[in-house]
Homo-oligomer: A and B are copies of this chain.
Amino acid sequence: MTVMETLTEAADNGTDICSVPPGRHPRPDGQDSYTISEVVAFTGLTAHTLRWYERIGLMPHVDRSHTGQRRYCNADLDWLDLVGKLRLTGMPVADMVRYAELVRAGDHTYGERYELLEATRRDVLARIAELRDTLAVLDRKIDFYGDAGRALASERPR
C-alpha cells in the first residue's frame, strides 16, 4: 500500500476531513519506524525541509535502513513537535539549532537550556500581549465597518 493510499484512506474513514488541520499528526501506529513521507504526513513539513533540518543540525542524525533511507522514530517525531512549536513562536532556526546542540552536548548544559527556554517563554508572553493589543485595534475597526459602516472613513490612504 502506498503512502498516498494510506493517507486517502485515513481521510476517507474520518467523519470530517477538517477535524484535524490538513497535514497534521494523527501518528497512528504503535510502531517506531517511519519513512520520510510518513513524517511529512504527520508534521506537515516537506521532505525537503526535513532533510534540510538534518543538514543544518536541527535534527539528530536519523536512523537509516540498510539501503540508506531515513527511518524516523517516535522520539524524532516528538522532537519535530517541539521544533514546530518553537517555530511558530517566531524563534529563528539558528536558535533552535543552538538548543539542539545543547541537548546533544549532554546534561551539563541544563542551565543554558533552562535560560534559553525561559527567554523564549518571555518572548511568547510578550507576543501574546502584542497580539491582544492588535486584536483590540482590529475589533475597533471591525466595529467601525460593521456598525457605523456608512460614516466616512478617517483612514490614511486617500
**Using a CB–CB distance below 8 Å, which chain A residues touch chain B?**
59-60, 75-76, 78-79, 82, 85-86, 88-89, 100-101, 103-104, 107, 110, 113-114, 117-118, 120-121, 124-125, 127-128, 130-135, 137-139, 141-142, 145-146, 149, 152-158
Q: A131-B127, A134-B88, A138-B121 are in contact. Are A103 and B145 (CB under 8 A)?
A: no
Most B C-beta atoms less than 10 A away, residue of A79, A101, A142, A157: A157
Task: Please give, as numbers and ranges, the residues of chain B lying within 8 Å of A134 by CB-CB distance.
Answer: 85-86, 88-89, 124
- Known contacts A114-B145, A124-B134, A128-B128; 19 additional CB pairs below 8 A are A59-B157, A75-B154, A75-B156, A76-B156, A79-B157, A85-B133, A88-B131, A88-B134, A89-B131, A89-B134, A100-B157, A104-B158, A110-B149, A110-B153, A114-B149, A117-B145, A120-B138, A124-B138, A128-B132
